[in-house]
Amino acid sequence: MASSQPLATSAGLEILSLGGNAADVAVAIAAALNVTEPISTGLGGDMFALFYEAATGQVSALNGSGRAPTCLTLDLLQKNGFGEGTPNALPLPPYHPYTITVPGACAGWCDLIERHGAARLDAHGHGLSLALVLAPAIRLAEEGFPVGPVTAHFWQRAAEQQLKESLNGHEMTIDGRGPNPGEIFRNPGLACTLRSIAAGGKEAFYEGEIAEVIAETVQQAGGCLRVDDLAAHVSTWDEPISTSYGGLRLWECPPNGQGIAALIALNLLEGFDLPANPLANGRLHLEIEAMRLAFADTRWYVADPRMVRVPVAELISKEYASKRRKLIHPKKATIDQQRGTPAAGSDTVYFCVVDRWGNACSFINSNYMGFGTGIVPHGRGFTLQNRGANFNLEAGHPNVLAPGKRPYHTIIPAMITREADGSLFGPMGVMGGFMQPQGHLQVFLALAQGLDPQSALDMPRFCIADGASGGEVALEHGIPAKTIAALTRRGHQVQEVTGWERALFGRGQVILRNPETGVLTGGSDPRADGCAMTLS
């Protein structure tokens, strides 16, 4: 298993040693990450997961994202001076309580165990209880843990920004500041919340005292989330989407997630003979241009498919790619790509697990922008997300805000299988806002080329800013100067990024499984505090 925090990975090992499978271990890690890296994830956010079931060779997709409050409308925003339709209207501030959507993480954790956990797979109904799965996280929250250096850096930054200005934000600090590297942080409020969930399941979160505290806090902050919104929340199991490339098949969750962007880009690149060197300017040029076209489509079409039609099959068809590929100039950047018209027919934590039976879970959980809104339900030890910031406020846009609607979602897990026999190649993911499909593309191509997980994750990356088709391209330190100069000559607007700001390029995890021996090879991103571990 591989995650961005060693203590979270250790929590997963503990559950694996007790007989848990990939689903049980994933939830244990997610809960532990809520404790050890609250700057990125938690019960106040959302989750998505892909699960590969070894017995059937099937991949299933869990959408654990929440929806907008039923009282949140464009009219309400306009009355408060946000969005279109009012004089001097302003965009919705990213940390405003109106950006809070129903937190879907808790239901997602419970639903993953219910469908795929060891207890469900045991014919006798034996297996791990939710209380046992959450026990390592509860212990970490109660006893405290030493904060990792990367986590401490961004926690301190957030304490001076989000948490300082947000309701009850001080509850996630030590006397108003973020913890120092190695300093012990305790979170008794989160321990209490997790104990309630361990005893009462997801109902304990979405009904009763916890739901009341969440709703009361949001309304006190000026938002409109109600207890009825929480009680009505449900996760959904969806058909995953995929495409083939080089003898492998890359699986993603369907919209409202943006994983489709990676599939579109892969289809586009399939028609080019990519240079073998991952850092060659000709290869990076083609990858950047493919992502520009993918974002031009996804930033328009990706929305809640239960509210609007999303032409998924058309967007990821090889035929559509062959038409769009003609827009890529092999020598020159095109920074004003427009969306196509297919024929009718996400600050985050990512981690992955493969168990002894060959089941695999690719899992992602997020608050969105660091601590999300930074608003803390009093005494509960977690912050509330700001996923609603990804709604469009333009009437008629597929992703326009609407009551009960899920927003465009940046967080995306991925799974890779072998095209020949459907066997597991491995779970993978790269966290970090609109970097995520770009990271999926770059890491997948490196793995497909034969690089081991750690080498694929260590490779310097590019990132198109904000997922905008015409955005400036950030290039990570380590890309050769001559390559940067060549990309500039091709017309790309580039900026080299170093130091702490390398977090822009995401933090990934990968586990590959040898189909003959069952041997696992893992990697964990050097841009985070994490590691990959296995039971001996």
Tens of pLDDT, residues 211-227: 999 999 999 999 999 99
Does residue 352 have a pLDDT over 80?
Answer: yes
pTM: predicted TM-score of the whole model, two decimal places? 0.94
More confident residue, 128 or 310: 310
DSSP for residue 415? E
Binned at pLDDT 50, 70 and 90, residue 76 comes out as: very high
Binned at pLDDT 50, 70 and 90, residue 534 comes out as: confident
Residue 302: φ, ψ to 5°:
-75, 120
- Active-site residue, 348 included: yes
Mean pLDDT of 505-510: 90
Instruction: Delimit the domains of the chain by residue range.
Output: 2-233+348-390, 238-246+254-344+409-414+430-528
Q: What is the pLDDT of residue 91?
A: 80
Tens of pLDDT, residues 41-58: 999 999 999 999 999 999
DSSP for residue 387? G
Q: What is the pLDDT of residue 172?
A: 98
Does residue 89 have a pLDDT over 70?
Answer: no
Does residue 335 have a pLDDT over 60?
Answer: yes
Q: What is the pLDDT of residue 468?
A: 78
Q: What is the pLDDT of residue 366?
A: 94
Q: What is the pLDDT of residue 431?
A: 87
Q: What is the pLDDT of residue 348?
A: 75
Binned at pLDDT 50, 70 and 90, residue 341 comes out as: confident
List of residues 6+ apart from 22 with CB closer than 8 A:
51, 116, 353, 354, 355, 359, 360, 361
Q: What is the DSSP string of 85-131?
A: SSTT-BPPPTT-GGGPPPP-HHHHHHHHHHHHSHHHHSTT-----HH
Fold of 238-246+254-344+409-414+430-528: Serum Albumin; Chain A, Domain 1 (1.10.246)
Task: Give the up-direction half-sphere exposure of residue 456: CA atoms within 13 A in the CB hemisphere.
Answer: 27
Q: What is the pLDDT of residue 526?
A: 86
Q: What is the pLDDT of residue 344?
A: 46
- Set 41, 348, 410, 483: catalytic member: 348
Q: What is the pLDDT of residue 345?
A: 39
Report the distance separating Cα 528 and Cα 333, nearest Å.
32
Does residue 242 have a pLDDT over 60?
Answer: yes
Q: What is the pLDDT of residue 120?
A: 61
Binned at pLDDT 50, 70 and 90, residue 31 comes out as: very high
Tens of pLDDT, residues 275-327: 999 999 999 999 999 999 999 999 999 999 999 999 999 999 999 999 999 99
Query: Token pair for residue 153?
Result: 């850096």
| CA nearest neighbour of 372 among 42, 68, 106, 141 | 42
Between CA 315 and CA 323, with CA 318 as vertex, the angle to 5 degrees is 80
Tens of pLDDT, residues 366-425: 999 999 999 999 999 999 999 999 999 988 999 999 999 999 999 999 999 999 999 999
Q: What is the pLDDT of residue 121?
A: 54
Mean pLDDT of 120-129: 61
Does residue 177 have a pLDDT over 90?
Answer: yes
Mean pLDDT of the chain, nearest integer: 93
